[in-house]
Amino acid sequence: MNINLESLWHKVCQGLREQLNADVYARWIAVIIPKRLDPDKLILSVSNDFYQTWLEENYLPLIRESVNRIYGRDLTVQFEVTPVIMPAVSSTPSVEPSATRKPAHTKKTCGQAASSELALNPKYAFGSFVVGPSNSFAHASSLAVAQAPGKAYNPLFIYGGVGLGKTHLMQAIGHYVLTQSKAHVHYLSCEALMNEYIDSLQNRHVKQFRDKYRSTDLLLIDDIHFLTRTSALQEEFFHTFNVLYDAHKQIVMASDRPASEISGLEKRLVTRFEWGLVTELLAPDFETRMAILHSKQKTLNVALDEDILTFIALHICSNIRSLEGALLRLASYASIYQKKISMDLAESLLQSIIEQEKKEPVSINAIQRNVADYFDIRMADMTSKQRSQSVALPRQVAMYLCRSLTTASLPEIGAAFSKTHATVMHACRRINQKIINDQQVKQIITKLSKQIDEHKLSVPGK
């Protein structure tokens, strides 16, 4: 195939950017520098061996698959460590390597994301957050915390499914506090925290890392469920938490599930995360969805007919991000083609989003719960290292169902089970074989798929 290194990698990046969520892409893919293209090999370079290991364990199959598809034949993909630091958010592969370390963190970031610390998005303020029964408690708690950091509820723990407003509320707290005071605010995702910590270990500036987070007035950690990926960080975070808590500094965390259901989270952390106020974000009801659409419509400066808004709100129920996506699609179409959106047009433009919505109500967590319930094992067994057949088979069944019933990638499923993508692949292969050879396994899979699909979700709390 007549393609050079740069354009091959550029195309691979384009594809991966569509497949991965923006944070993951910026963190793990944008940091890769294409180094060399040999007749049978693609060499990719990263700045330290932590990246190398992580990429090899989690993203190599995905990258390889994409490289081979674009290149047109099989290449071996290899990582090597070149100790230069690249800005993590660069999205094109052609950025010049820089010999000097980029200052990794900014205290009050705005607009563009910094290398390992997420910027506060000006969009995510209290003013643009629409309140309804599904989120009023979380909203009120967040506002109370923003108005009296360290005094009202500490810590504040917000949990809920994807796209329901966790990040929005956390950042709203950050904005509010920054406009009211000169407080030191740190907002970052758990993954960014982990990377910064690993960096600090490698570069022997753990003390700076500690000082920075232990002297902050408001610490907002998003997606805290990823804390369990490294035990060293759990330990570090435990001490940071204690120092901040004792000094009456505010801690806010967001997670996709309650602390007690984050498998692998140390008990002392579970307890601490529940010390203050725990609040859940639920899927919005119809009225709230309509109110959100009206509000976003104003921001986007479009005016869709009421029956079209109703159509969107009726069909997209589970996730506010998809609701926004639907509106944005119609708004862009109307503005590009200068055309009024009719009902027929809306239906056809939104077909894929609506189909996605129908397919997507199943979460990995719900599958794990259903399977755990069915086999009468604990939720914690889903992520445990135990290999006995009584636990291993249900776990493999759950991984298989995650693969077939959700759109999650292998690394994402792996992470939810505290395993690598390779384990998930192995599990899927194994269950596939069993379905062919073992009538009983086939029946179990059919029954569970049906049950999960029909939302007959079991009661949480195993």
By CB under 6 A, name the binding residues for ligand ADP.
124, 128-130, 135, 160, 162-168, 292, 320-321, 324
Choice between 55 and 292, CB closer to ligand ADP:
292
Closer residue to ligand ADP, CB minimum distance, 34 or 284: 284
Q: Quick one: what does residue 164 bind among ligand ADP, Mg ion, none, with the CB cut-off 5 to 8 Å set by partner type?
A: ligand ADP
User: For 153, which DSSP code?
Assistant: S
- DSSP bridge pairs for 189: 222
Residue keyed to tokens 């529940």: 274
Q: From the CB of 160, what's the least distance to ligand ADP, in Å?
A: 6
The smaller minimum CB distance to ligand ADP, of residues 86 and 253, is found at 253
Residue 444, helix vs strand vs coil: helix
| CA dihedral (317, 320, 321, 324) positive or negative | positive
Looking at the DSSP bridge assignments, the partners of residue 76 are 41
Could you tell me the end-to-end alpha-carbon distance of the chain, in angstroms, rounded to an integer?
54
Q: Which DSSP symbol is given to 26?
A: I
* Structure tokens belonging to residue 177: 């506090």
Residues 443-462 that bind Mg ion (CB under 5 A): none
- 91 binding partner (options Mg ion, ligand ADP, none; Cβ < 5 to 8 Å by kind): none
Nearer CB in complex with Mg ion: 51/226: 226
66 versus 167: smaller Cβ distance to ligand ADP: 167
| Residue 129 near which of ligand ADP, Mg ion, none (CB within 5-8 Å, type-dependent) | ligand ADP
Name the DSSP letter for residue 85.
B
126 vs 333 by CB, closer to ligand ADP: 126
Stretch that binds Mg ion, among 71-79, 158-166, 365-373, 423-431 (CB under 5 A): 158-166
Amino acid at residue number 292 = I
Interior angle at CA 50, CA 44 and CA 52, nearest 5:
20
Choice between 5 and 300, CB closer to ligand ADP: 300
**SS in 3 state form for 346-405?**
HHHHCHHHHHHHHHCCCCHHHHHHHHHHHHCCCHHHHCCCCCCHHHHHHHHHHHHHHHHH
Contact 1, 40 (CB under 8 A): no
Binding-site partner at residue 135 among Mg ion, ligand ADP, none, CB < 5 to 8 Å by type: ligand ADP
Q: Give the shortest CB-272-to-ligand ADP separation in angstroms.
A: 22
Q: Which residue's CB is nearer to ligand ADP, number 30 or number 320?
A: 320
Quote the least distance from Cβ 24 to Mg ion, whole Å: 12
260 contacts which partner out of ligand ADP, Mg ion, none, CB within 5 to 8 A by kind?
A: none
Cβ proximity to ligand ADP: between 291 and 435 the closer is 291
Q: Closer CB to Mg ion, residue 23 or residue 57? A: 23
Among the residue ranges 144-152, 164-172, 230-238, 363-371, the one whose residues contact Mg ion (CB under 5 A): 164-172
The residue with its CB nearest to ligand ADP is 165
d(CA 152, CA 322): 33
- Minimum separation from the CB atom of position 132 to ligand ADP (A): 7
Rounded to the nearest whole angstrom, what is the least distance from the CB of residue 200 to Mg ion in the complex? 24
Kindly state the smallest distance separating residue 165's Cβ from ligand ADP, in Å.
3
Q: How many residues form the binding site for Mg ion (CB under 5 A)?
A: 2
Distance CA 298, CA 250 (A): 34
Q: Which stretch binds Mg ion (CB under 5 A): 159-167, 199-207, 301-309, 404-412?
A: 159-167
**Residue 186 or residue 296: which is nearer to ligand ADP going by CB?**
296
293-323 per-residue burial string, b: 16 or more CB within 10 A, e: under 16: beebbeebebebeeebbebbbebbebbbebb
Minimal distance, residue 455 CB to ligand ADP, in Å:
20
| Cβ-proximal residues to 315 (8 Å cutoff; 6+ apart), any chain | 350, 354, 357
Which range touches Mg ion (CB under 5 A), out of 33-41, 73-81, 162-170, 212-220?
162-170
Q: How far apart are CA 416 and CA 424, in angstroms?
A: 10
255 counts as binding Mg ion under rule CB under 5 A: no
- Shortest spacing between CB 256 and ligand ADP, in angstroms: 8
Strand order in the sheet with 185-189: 185-189, 218-222, 250-255, 156-160, 277-281
* Secondary structure in 3-state letters for 94-125: CCCCECCCCCCCCCCCECCCCCCCCCECCCCC
**In whole angstroms, what is the distance from residue 190 CA to residue 237 CA?**
10
Residue 320's binding partner among Mg ion, ligand ADP, none (Cβ under 5 to 8 angstroms by kind) is: ligand ADP
Burial class for 40, CB neighbours closer than 10 Å (0-12, 13-18, 19+): exposed
DSSP 185: E
By CB under 5 A, what part of segment 166-225 binds Mg ion? 166-167
CB of 74 to Mg ion, least distance (A): 37
CB of 355 to ligand ADP, least distance (A): 20
Shortest Å distance, C-beta 142 to ligand ADP: 11
